[in-house]
């Protein structure tokens, strides 16, 4: 159309961005000093732009369907990222209400901040690990500021997305080393490259697919393009000497895939040790549970892996056959649906039976409605946007695991809907 689109990285005045959609790479460039919020036509709570907005602490409302038709450049707009409200040209009364809510939220955050150095302990004295999801070493500031006990998901694909070519082994080593050193002795779960779906590399064209989220992506690319995978594993192995490393393979569907990935890992480990490279001897290997087939077979996977991390965003998407970025079916994003809860409980129980631990790195891990249910199911580690950690720690302090067990049993076993479970938990907790 001959229109030059603005570069998000060059914004130098206070604005709210209104767009049809924002890509993960667009979102990563936003400066929260100037970008006070963004609103899009499409997307859902688990779209990557929305997830990154939470990490950046930028209020966002996505999936409005038609905001670009309703707003003109230069108009005043009010955005409530907590409740998903957007008001165009707000009245003086509405502006005052938004300012009042903002002050209350700031007061709540000041109260939560007192728990920064506290351990995450329930009302009956049980400890659970609260971890942070990160995309780059730059996110570490928020991790430390919010008192995270671990990094539960390091999304390494942003190393690839922020580069004009495949990042070298040394470049990757430096990035991984920085995170591991900064967090030591706390653990860091690093997910190997999860490219594909809605995350593309201009220098690595992938085949056109009808269903890219179900296609050639993540571990499937790594096992096929082993030179890329081996470079990443070597960088991780070298960095392991500087902290407590846990490696997680994404999009695993079969035990054979895990065994193939582990074999490559062990080959590269042996090669580096032969060359005299110092490598940690306690690296754990785990998988993301995001494909229903793997969740159902968790009792068998648990015999082979060191840990599970449940990726609820994709697990729900695939279980409900509902595209996570499609606002028309966003009502099917149902983390409290008994079918999802039963899958999650089966994964946790399967791990515990084999003496392994289970974490969750999907958005549900920081959801104040889901957290009480997960406590009741015995989930060990909760990884979320760093900005959610102190709020969740405050919530856990008020909850008894025995009470939550009963609540989880009701939520899983009664003839009950997603919305009814939400109401049940909110009523119980409040």
The catalytic site residues sit at 48, 361
Residue 298: how many CA atoms within 13 Å on its side-chain side?
A: 29
Contact 333, 46 (CB under 8 A): yes
Q: Is 285 exposed, middle or buried (0-12, 13-18, 19+ CB in 10 A)?
A: middle
- The residues that bridge with 37 in the sheet, in sequence order, are 16
Rounded CA separation 284/313 (Å): 23
| Neighbour tally for 118: CB within 10 Å | 12
Angle between helices 418-429 and 370-377 (to 10 degrees): 90
- Which backbone phi and psi does 75 adopt, to 5 degrees? -75, 155
How far apart CA 81 and CA 112 sit, in angstroms, is: 19
Side-chain-side CA neighbours of 281 within 13 Å: the count stands at 0
Distance separating alpha carbons of residues 142 and 414, to the nearest angstrom: 40
Report the run of H or E that residue 247 belongs to, with start and end: strand 244-249
Q: How many CB atoms lie within 10 A of CB 382?
A: 29
Cα–Cα dist 401/422, whole Å? 18
Are β-strands 77-80 and 85-88 bridged in parallel, bridged antiparallel, or unpaired?
Answer: antiparallel
């Amino acid at each position: 159309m001959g229109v030059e689109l603005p570069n998000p990285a060059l914004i130098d005045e206070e604005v709210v961005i209104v767009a049809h959609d924002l890509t993960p790479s667009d979102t990563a460039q936003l400066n929260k000093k100037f970008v006070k919020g963004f609103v899009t036509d499409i997307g859902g709570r688990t779209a990557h732009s929305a997830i990154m907005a939470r990490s950046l602490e930028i209020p966002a409302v996505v999936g409005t369907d038609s905001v670009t038709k309703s707003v003109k450049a230069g108009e005043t707009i009010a955005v409530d990222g907590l409740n998903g409200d957007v008001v165009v040209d707000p009245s003086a009364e509405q502006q005052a209400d938004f300012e009042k809510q903002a002050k209350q939220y700031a007061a709540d955050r000041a109260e939560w901040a007192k728990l920064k150095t506290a351990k995450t302990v329930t009302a009956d004295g049980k400890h659970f690990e609260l971890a942070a999801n990160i995309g780059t070493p730059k996110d570490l500031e928020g991790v430390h500021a919010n008192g995270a006990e671990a990094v539960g998901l390091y999304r390494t694909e942003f190393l690839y997305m922020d580069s004009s070519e495949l990042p070298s082994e040394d470049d990757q080593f430096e990035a991984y080393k920085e995170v591991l050193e900064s967090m030591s002795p706390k653990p860091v779960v690093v997910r190997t490259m999860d490219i594909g779906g809605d995350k593309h590399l201009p220098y690595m064209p992938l085949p056109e697919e009808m269903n890219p989220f179900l296609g050639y992506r993540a571990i499937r690319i790594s096992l096929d393009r082993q030179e890329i995978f081996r470079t990443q594993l070597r960088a991780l192995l070298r960095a392991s000497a500087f902290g407590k490393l846990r490696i997680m393979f994404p999009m695993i569907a079969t035990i054979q895939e895990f065994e193939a990935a582990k074999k490559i890992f062990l080959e590269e480990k042996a090669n580096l040790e032969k060359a005299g490279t110092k490598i940690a001897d306690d690296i754990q290997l785990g998988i993301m549970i995001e494909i229903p087939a793997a969740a159902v077979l968790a009792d068998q996977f648990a015999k082979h892996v060191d840990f599970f991390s449940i990726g609820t965003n994709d697990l729900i998407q695939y279980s409900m056959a509902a595209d996570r970025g499609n606002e028309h079916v966003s009502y099917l994003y149902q983390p409290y649906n008994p079918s999802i809860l039963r899958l999650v409980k089966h994964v946790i129980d399967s791990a515990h039976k084999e003496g392994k631990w289970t974490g969750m790195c999907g958005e549900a891990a920081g959801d104040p409605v889901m957290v009480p249910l997960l406590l009741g199911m015995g989930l060990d580690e909760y990884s979320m946007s760093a900005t959610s950690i102190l709020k969740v720690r405050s919530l856990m302090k008020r909850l008894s695991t025995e009470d939550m067990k009963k609540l989880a049993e009701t939520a899983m076993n009664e003839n009950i809907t997603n919305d009814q479970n939400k109401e049940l938990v909110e009523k119980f907790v409040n």
